[in-house]
């Protein structure tokens, strides 16, 4: 069996996925193919993964492929392909995505999922992922493509709509959503045996039901604690708690993410909201700088002291592979096309995050039905931007980029149309060859 990891310079993530596979008997002896365009980073990954394999007594092989000219060889005969690329990296592209909008008065926190940062990130990533897909159609047409790269809904939705590759989008937030909520509100005693239903879109999927092990609805107690949490100046998850207060439900991704997915919290006319909700502006660039430095330190320590014992993570990838290989049931929250109106409020072209069952026959998305109308309305403000960005990537028409930015809740609530167009034009010019040509 062959597992190919695209973007293997993401060493920490590659280590987690490979380490998870080493914890499973049926996967310990697989071929793990690493692909990246950065030779130094892929060599760092190889060294760490080889050390992990030795520590776990793995018998498989680790192969390395560097550069576009070796991409097909990395993918050839793969059974599973995991994608974790970042086109353009922190420098120059993430810096561009933050600094140019800031000139126009548009502030962001993460900029990887929605907003002008998410739009530009999608437009430079989709062509690369489409190249992956075309290669897969040729050299591993039956492989399952597991996408971890953001913006999840835009990238996954494009590949699912416009290629023949069997694709699932995977995130980290569904697994920890209710756990984080109950711990934040001091309800740890309700964690064991809890039951939940989560559905919506990536980074804004709703915790629609949360019950204790006896079937009692936990939302009344949760809602009774929200005001105290929001009024505590030390707390940081306030935007999601405000969602409970104003929309009735908690959502999957963090408050720093959700602060920029709507009209409400990052507003130049209301600067006090930044402090009130503890919103960390420019958070993602800070994380990038810190992660780069932390990885250098961690890499040196691993070379000196060896790899640490790996405990299986909460990432879905190894569980999906194990489920398919061993034909054992497994449940995930996956990003899939809304075919058959899994969520009846949304168009079929939307990429939705819903419960999915996995077994030896593959991945089976579950029907959810209607969402609470206010939750569906919030999701649709994001879906509109996602669909227009996909349209721009497909048609290569600049007007669709303008429209996506104009309809983005945060961008449209802060800037006028002419300013939005000027900002988009400057971003396109600044990204240069990282973007295809738009007309």
Q: What pLDDT was estimated at residue 113?
A: 98
pLDDT at 298: 82
Predicted local distance difference test score (pLDDT) of residue 284: 96
Residue-level pLDDT at 301: 86
Worst-scoring range by mean pLDDT, 199-213, 233-247, 299-313?
A: 299-313
131-154 pLDDT, tens per residue? 999 999 999 999 999 999 999 999
Contact of 357 with 366, CB cutoff 8 Å:
yes
Taking phi over 0 as left and psi of -120 to 50 as alpha, with beta for the rest, 310 belongs to beta
Q: To the nearest 10°, report the CA torsion of 178, 184, 188, 192.
A: 10
Gyration radius of the chain's alpha carbons: 21
Q: What is the pLDDT of residue 297?
A: 87
Q: What is the pLDDT of residue 62?
A: 96
pLDDT tens track for 211-230: 999 999 999 999 999 999 99
The pLDDT value given to residue 264: 98
> What does each C-alpha distance from 202 to 54, 138, 305, 371, 408 come to in angstroms?
36, 29, 38, 15, 16
Catalytic residues: 172
Section 274-295 average pLDDT: 93
pLDDT interval class at 309 (50, 70, 90): confident
Say if residue 427's pLDDT is above 90. Answer: yes
CB 109 within 8 A of CB 38: no
pLDDT in tens, 258-277: 999 999 999 999 999 999 99
Looking at the predicted structure, is the pLDDT value of residue 295 above 90?
Answer: no
Cα 280 from Cα 108, distance rounded (Å): 9
Question: What residues contact residue 29 under an 8 Å CB cut-off, 6+ apart?
Answer: 58, 59, 60
Cα(10)–Cα(294) distance, integer angstroms: 13
What would the mean pLDDT of 315-322 be, rounded to a whole number?
97
Per-residue HEC secondary structure of 140-189 comes to: CCCCEEEECCCCHHHHHHHHHHHCCCEEEECCCHHHHHHHHHHHHCCCHH
Q: For 21, phi and psi rounded to 5 degrees?
A: -65, -35
Q: Tell me: pLDDT of 296 over 90.
A: no
Closest CA to 394 of 62, 53, 157, 108: 157
Mean pLDDT to the nearest integer, 77-81: 98
- When comparing pLDDT for 291 and 359, which is higher? 359
Greater model confidence, 9 or 153: 153
Q: Are 207 and 252 in contact (CB under 8 A)?
A: yes
Band (pLDDT 50/70/90 cuts) for residue 189 is: very high
Alpha-carbon gap, residue 14 to 5, rounded angstroms: 7
Q: What is the pLDDT of residue 12?
A: 84
131-140, 286-295, 427-436: the lowest-pLDDT one: 286-295
Q: What is the pLDDT of residues 366-408, one digit of tens each?
A: 999 999 999 999 999 999 999 999 999 999 999 999 999 999 9
pLDDT number for residue 321: 98
Taking residues 334-356, report their average pLDDT.
Answer: 98
Q: Residue 308: its pLDDT value, please?
A: 78
What span, in angstroms and rounded, lies between the C-alpha atoms of 230 and 235?
7
């Amino acid at each position: 069996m062959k597992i190919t990891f695209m973007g293997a310079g993401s060493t920490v993530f590659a280590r987690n996925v490979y380490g998870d596979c080493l914890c499973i008997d049926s996967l310990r002896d697989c071929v793990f193919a690493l692909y990246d365009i950065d030779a130094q980073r892929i060599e760092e990954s190889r060294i760490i993964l080889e050390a992990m394999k030795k520590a776990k007594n793995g018998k498989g092989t680790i192969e390395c492929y560097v550069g576009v000219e070796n991409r097909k060889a990395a993918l050839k005969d793969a059974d599973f392909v995991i994608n974790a690329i970042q086109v353009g990296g922190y420098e120059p592209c993430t810096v561009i995505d933050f600094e140019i909008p800031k000139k126009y008065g548009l502030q962001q926190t993460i900029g990887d999922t929605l907003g002008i940062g998410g739009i530009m990130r999608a437009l430079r990533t989709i062509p690369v992922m489409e190249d992956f897909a075309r290669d897969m159609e040729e050299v591993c047409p039956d492989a399952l493509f597991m996408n971890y790269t953001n913006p999840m809904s835009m990238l996954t939705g494009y590949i699912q709509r416009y290629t023949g590759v069997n694709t699932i989008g995977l995130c980290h937030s569904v697994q920890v959503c209710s756990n984080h909520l109950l711990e934040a509100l001091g309800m740890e005693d309700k964690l064991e045996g809890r039951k939940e239903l989560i559905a919506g879109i990536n980074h804004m999927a709703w915790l629609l039901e949360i019950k204790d092990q006896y079937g009692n609805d936990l939302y009344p107690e949760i809602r009774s604690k929200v005001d105290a949490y929001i009024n505590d100046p030390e707390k940081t998850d306030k935007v999601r708690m405000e969602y409970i207060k104003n929309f009735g439900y908690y959502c999957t991704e963090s408050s720093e993410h959700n602060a920029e997915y709507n009209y409400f919290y990052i507003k130049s006319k209301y600067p006090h909201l930044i402090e009130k909700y503890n919103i960390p502006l420019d958070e993602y660039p800070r994380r990038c700088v810190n992660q780069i430095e932390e990885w250098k330190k961690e890499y040196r320590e691993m070379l000196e002291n060896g790899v640490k014992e790996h405990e299986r993570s909460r990432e879905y990838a190894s569980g999906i592979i194990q489920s398919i290989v061993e034909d054992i049931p497994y449940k995930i929250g996956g990003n899939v096309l809304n075919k058959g109106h899994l969520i009846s409020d949304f168009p079929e072209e939307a990429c939705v995050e819903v419960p999915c069952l996995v077994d030896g026959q593959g991945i089976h998305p579950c029907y959810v039905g209607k969402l609470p109308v206010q939750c569906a309305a919030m999701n649709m403000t994001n879906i509109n931007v996602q669909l227009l960005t996909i349209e721009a990537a497909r048609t290569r028409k600049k007007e669709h980029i303008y429209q996506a930015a104009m309809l983005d809740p945060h961008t449209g609530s802060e800037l006028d149309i002419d300013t939005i167009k000027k900002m988009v034009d400057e971003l396109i010019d600044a990204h240069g060859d990282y973007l295809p040509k738009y007309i």
